[in-house]
Chain A
């Protein structure tokens, strides 16, 4: 079957009931989305489906249809997306394993809430666990990304 990933059409040779996470990782070598639980309980795999956050680990690849999947790789390959810039600038990652998911939740939030409050951030990111406890920097980085985004035009 064909799916749209980060702007290109890719061919996946796996059964339709395969979780999208494994179609991306094992089938296509798209390794940015991480496996943390496989049951939608950690947010490590968070990616976007037509711009809205979704959990590839609990979404069968056959259900994706013609919708566009955006993974962390799709934010930008060079780290220039405001969320990526803010994350690097504020030195958010510890082990880094959760951060692709955190960033995708943040990117989705900023698309419809360009100037989020702390409460908005809580609501949008509360299902993304960071076992290393980087939350203070994540919060600061979302605000910083919002600022970069306003300065640099929409992304």
Chain B
């Protein structure tokens, strides 16, 4: 590693054909203080880029994004940042998803952080390219930098004319970036950031060319499916593989910690082989039931501290387990050879997979490649490395590339679950019925896939976002999880915030108070939330009379550096409640791509309608009952409400959007059902028995 690679900005002319720029994470911190000197020699730390920008001689720009697109559109929004600062037409940008590489720093796609964390570093990468190209042109013309402008992939000067970037690459790469100050394009001059931009992958998706993990096919590769225990917690004792091996094209049967794998030359044979396996399973509890688990959680809810004087009010809610049910079932392909591992997987955790491969095979991390195709949904599930473990183990045994495919019933039954929980909320009310004290006690399970998520304080910190001016505390108790649990969009906010907002609505319904007015009063010190609340209420037309049998509900959330308020209308006049309309007002700070933001909001609303009006995972006789979208009642188009997204103008730093709309949308929908029927929901879903 040469000295120049220690620079925060690294560039090289690759044979004069391209200008390569990279920035290291520290640049982000510098830029926040406004003191960034991009070329300043790094004082320490090795070369650790988090994004590469590559300008080709023909003017095309390739951006390598160290995040995984699982439907949230980061490949588009992050490319927009670079194009803006580099002053190139967006159409000239091609996006590549980075392979796992420790030099990128963290590559985890989680917590609605991608745009938040990369907003400044990626703009700096683009801006650095721009100022160097401008300097190169200015030197050639013998004019000051300040007289030149970069526009549409060219440097222009009033008297000297114009030079396309492609003709400046070698000159720019020869410059010392330390000598060229980097300035970011001022917000009022943005041409790309903040404008609706379609996804860069659309053309591939609509023609069927887009490639997902499931589409990976390696020469001489095998497909594996795994027979998994019928009872939760059971394991294989005896395996009779004869009938499975007799299926044409089945190649092998192997035991794994997670079950028994059938490897075949093609998927249909692997699935058929799995049907023919005779496995004796041991363990598991044939009496286990999620209804009992929820009873246990309800009994474990901590007692409230002594309440101050006033009118007491309390309510209890139960929240069920949820499966991620990514549209593309979980899968991974691995090829383990004597001295290298190659993995193809749409993972939210590339560095975790790389580390895991090294640990499982004893092969050095530097010899592990992890390539990241598109992911058909993630919702937290693809941050886990269970399927890559299966693929790596099986390829090591088979000495061939192996793709492990989870079937839909595997995916529904054996994936990690969003933990169930039970909540009891207490308030003391004043004479107007307004809360003057509150306590929220709940019991839930840890996230078994992330052991640090077992501490009650951490769970409260993650889930409780209560911003209303009501003093009080939150107490959590954590019971051992009876099955695998994991991150599910919004994580614990999906239970805790929903319970808190349902409780506020319950207070309003009980006291005949207006749901919006009650929140407005309590949010006086929260201008961002208040602005969202007013925007949502006004766009909805709050206060107008609704049709008979309809109800409206409201909820707010401040999280991920963003604020949101939701007003939802539900029609309860028919046999089943029907979501009619959902208005979501969001303040996510600077919006990079309004089209992408709107899509994320719509997605969170769809999750909310699904989980409020029917979808849940239940366990009976020791096994998950649901097995596909047939019985995991996810939203379909015929029950999809109108969704209106109101952008509340904001100059705040970019906030997160991916997980923002789920909790308040769920709470608003449940509140709408409560308002329409006058019956306090027992939790989610509001129809049928919970658990």
Interface residues of A (CB under 8 A from B): 14-15, 18-19, 22-23, 25-27, 29, 31-39, 41-42, 44, 71-73, 75-79, 83-84, 87-89, 91, 93-100, 103, 121-123, 125-139
Cβ of B532 under 8 Å from chain A: no
Interface size on B, residues (CB 8 A): 60
Interface pair A36/B199, CB less than 8 Å apart: no
Interface pair B211/A31, CB less than 8 Å apart: yes
Interface pair A19/B327, CB less than 8 Å apart: no
Q: Which of A31, A33, A125 has the most CB of B within 10 A?
A: A31
Interface pair A73/B207, CB less than 8 Å apart: yes
Instruction: Determine chain A's interface SS by DSSP, over half rule.
Output: loop
Interface pair B327/A98, CB less than 8 Å apart: yes
- What residue in chain B is nearest A121 (Cβ atoms)? B637
Instruction: Determine chain B's interface SS by DSSP, over half rule.
Output: loop
Cβ of B334 under 8 Å from chain A: no
* Contacts A36-B329, A37-B408, A96-B71; A132 near B606 (Cβ below 8 A): yes
Q: Which of B377, B603, B637 has the most CB of A within 10 A?
A: B637
Cβ of B397 under 8 Å from chain A: no
Residues on A with C-beta less than 8 A from B201 are 93, 96
Interface pair B376/A96, CB less than 8 Å apart: yes
B603 → chain A closest CB, angstroms: 4
Cβ of B32 under 8 Å from chain A: no
Interface pair B408/A131, CB less than 8 Å apart: no
Residues on A with C-beta less than 8 A from B329 are 35-36
Interface pair B267/A26, CB less than 8 Å apart: yes
Besides the contacts A31-B208, A93-B202, what 17 more A-B pairs have beta carbons closer than 8 Å? A15-B248, A29-B217, A36-B329, A36-B408, A73-B207, A75-B206, A79-B203, A87-B205, A87-B206, A91-B199, A95-B69, A95-B374, A95-B378, A103-B206, A129-B636, A130-B606, A132-B327
- What residue in chain B is nearest A29 (Cβ atoms)? B217
CA distance A129 to B639 in the complex (A): 12
Cβ of B271 under 8 Å from chain A: yes
Stretch from B78-86, B626-634, B681-689 at the A interface: B626-634
A60 → chain B closest CB, angstroms: 10
Could you list some 29 contacts between A and B, CB below 8 A?
A23-B268, A25-B215, A26-B268, A32-B208, A32-B209, A33-B208, A36-B327, A41-B628, A75-B207, A78-B207, A88-B203, A93-B206, A94-B599, A94-B603, A95-B70, A97-B212, A97-B327, A99-B206, A123-B638, A125-B637, A128-B636, A129-B629, A132-B603, A135-B637, A136-B640, A137-B599, A137-B602, A138-B637, A139-B640
Interface pair B327/A44, CB less than 8 Å apart: yes
- What residue in chain A is nearest B210 (Cβ atoms)? A96
* Contacts A35-B214, A134-B602; A94 near B72 (Cβ below 8 A): yes
Interface pair B377/A93, CB less than 8 Å apart: no
A21 → chain B closest CB, angstroms: 9
CA distance A135 to B205 in the complex (A): 16
- What residue in chain B is nearest A141 (Cβ atoms)? B206
CA distance A96 to B326 in the complex (A): 11
Partner of A95, one of B71, B198, B271: B71
A55 → chain B closest CB, angstroms: 13
CA distance A123 to B325 in the complex (A): 23
Residues on B with C-beta less than 8 A from A133 are 602-607, 635, 640
